[in-house]
Structures are given as C-alpha cells and as structure tokens.
C-alpha cells in the first residue's frame, strides 16, 4: 500500500494493543485497536480439579490457586473435582498453567477455548 499523502510505501505497525499502517517518509498513519479476545471475554468460568492429596506439589498448586493453607488444600484434593476457582478467562489461563505444571487433573466450565 502507498501513503495517501506522499505516495511512499507504508510500514505495518503493531504494538501494545494497536495495529495499523505508517508512512516512514511523512509520518502519516492510520491505527486501530487490536485487543486479544481473551482480554475481553467476560464469561465467568469454574475450574474444578482432582489430584493426589498425598502429593506435596499437587497440594501446593491448589493452595496457590485458592489462596488457602496446606491443610485445606489437602482436604480439597481428597474430594474428586472440587471447585477451586471462579473467574474470567485471563485468570483461568493462569490457574490452568499452575495446575498443569504439576500434573493436577482439572476441568473448566463452560468450555474454555483459550488454550
């Protein structure tokens, strides 16, 4: 594409949630927002998990996700598929990462399409 002011070639611009075109010669530009879908997803997701209540890594992961102590986390893991988190997509992705990193089984509902 060519600049509508000076006719030079345009560069693609993409940074910090914006994207567009810019002319390196005269500085003319056109930009728009480029916000990731996960950041605007307002769905409330529930994360349930199950793991080995004797495994310290599983207990620590549940404790981190729930913000509770070791003993409470252990009791939660004694039950199958306990609710450990409710939140929006960006936070669920973080929680998922914590649980996956130690091999804790989990399920997200409604269906989680963000990875």
Model confidence pLDDT, tens digit, residues 80-100: 899 999 999 999 999 999 999
Q: Which residues, other chains included, contact 70 with Cβ-Cβ below 8 Å and sequence gap of 6+?
A: 59, 60, 63
Residue 15 has a pLDDT of 80
Per-residue model confidence as pLDDT tens digits over 8-66: 999 998 887 788 999 999 999 999 887 788 988 999 999 999 999 999 999 999 999 99
Residue 108 has a pLDDT of 98
> What is the pTM (predicted TM-score) of this model?
0.72
Q: Which CATH architecture has domain 39-109?
A: 2-Layer Sandwich (3.30)
Q: Which residues, other chains included, contact 52 with Cβ-Cβ below 8 Å and sequence gap of 6+?
A: 58, 77
For the chain, residues classed under CATH 3.30.1390.10 are 39-109
Outline where DSSP puts E strands in the chain.
Answer: 11-15, 18-22, 29-33, 45-50, 82-87, 105-109
């Amino acid at each position: 594409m060519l600049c509508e002011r000076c006719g030079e070639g345009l560069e693609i611009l993409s940074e910090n949630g914006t994207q567009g075109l810019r002319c390196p010669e005269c500085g003319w530009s056109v930009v728009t927002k480029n916000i990731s879908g996960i950041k605007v997803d307002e769905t409330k997701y529930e994360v349930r998990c199950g793991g080995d209540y004797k495994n310290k890594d599983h207990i620590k992961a549940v404790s981190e996700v729930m913000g509770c102590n070791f003993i409470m986390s252990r009791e939660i893991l004694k039950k199958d598929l306990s609710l450990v988190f409710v939140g929006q997509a960006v936070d669920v992705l973080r929680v998922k990462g914590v649980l996956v990193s130690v091999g804790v089984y989990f399920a997200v509902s409604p269906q989680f399409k963000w990875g």
